[in-house]
Amino acid sequence: ALARDGALGAAGDDPGAAPADGALVVAEDHVTELLLARERRLLRDLGSELLAPLASLTPAARGRLSDTLLCWLRHQGRLDPVAADLQIHPQTVRYRLGRAREILGGAVDDPGRRLELELALRARRLEARREAAG
């Protein structure tokens, strides 16, 4: 099955993202993004609940912590790849994860909540890109 990149929203720099030129892409290569696009309200509600504690941070700190946490979740907790992707020292990754645990509590270490956390973070990123794209 094929889908236009508009169905995915502005995919930005996500690995495997749809091309920005409006070309057709294989939907099976973007199942998660399509799910996130389809279930926006549900995921917005999930994100509002799970990510609410991050609202106490400055926008810059919230962005850094969210980016670090999402990268850590994608790399299944491996620090060195996270540090390399974010171009920061592994100790900085550890510090940020410690802050995430302080702020978000058990969600960071609970496997079921980690999935929800990743979905909420990815949905927020897609929503921000959609808003930025107009």
The pLDDT tens digits for 40-92 are 777 777 778 889 999 999 999 999 999 999 999 999 999 999 999 999 999 99
Instruction: Tell me the Cα Rg of the chain.
Output: 15
Higher pLDDT, 48 or 120: 120
For residues 33 and 70, state if they share a domain.
Answer: no
46/125 Cα distance (integer angstroms): 14
- Res 12 pLDDT > 80: no
Residues 68, 114 share a domain: yes
Domain co-membership, 86 together with 115: yes
Q: How many domains does the chain have?
A: 2
Q: Both 12 and 77 in a single domain?
A: no
Please state the rounded mean pLDDT for residues 11-34: 60
The burial of 30, by beta-carbon neighbours within 10 Å (0-12 exposed, 13-18 middle, 19 or more buried), is given as buried
Locate 133 and state its tokens.
């794209």
Global model pTM greater than 0.95 = no
Check whether residue 57 and residue 121 sit in a common domain: yes
pLDDT at 101 over 80: yes
Looking at the structure, do residues 15 and 58 belong to the same domain, yes or no?
A: no
Question: What is the C-alpha separation between 37 and 104, in angstroms, rounded?
Answer: 25
Residue 44 domain-assigned (yes or no)? no
Domain range for 73 is: 52-133
On the question of pLDDT at 32 being above 80, the answer is no
Mean pLDDT, rounded, for 25-35: 71
pLDDT over threshold 90, residue 96? yes
Q: Is the pLDDT of residue 1 over 60?
A: no
Do 58 and 89 lie in one domain? The reply is: yes
pLDDT given at position 73 = 96
- As a whole-number percent, the residues of the chain with pLDDT over 90 amount to 46
Are 68 and 20 found together in one domain? no
**2 beta partners:** 26
Same domain, 66 and 22: no
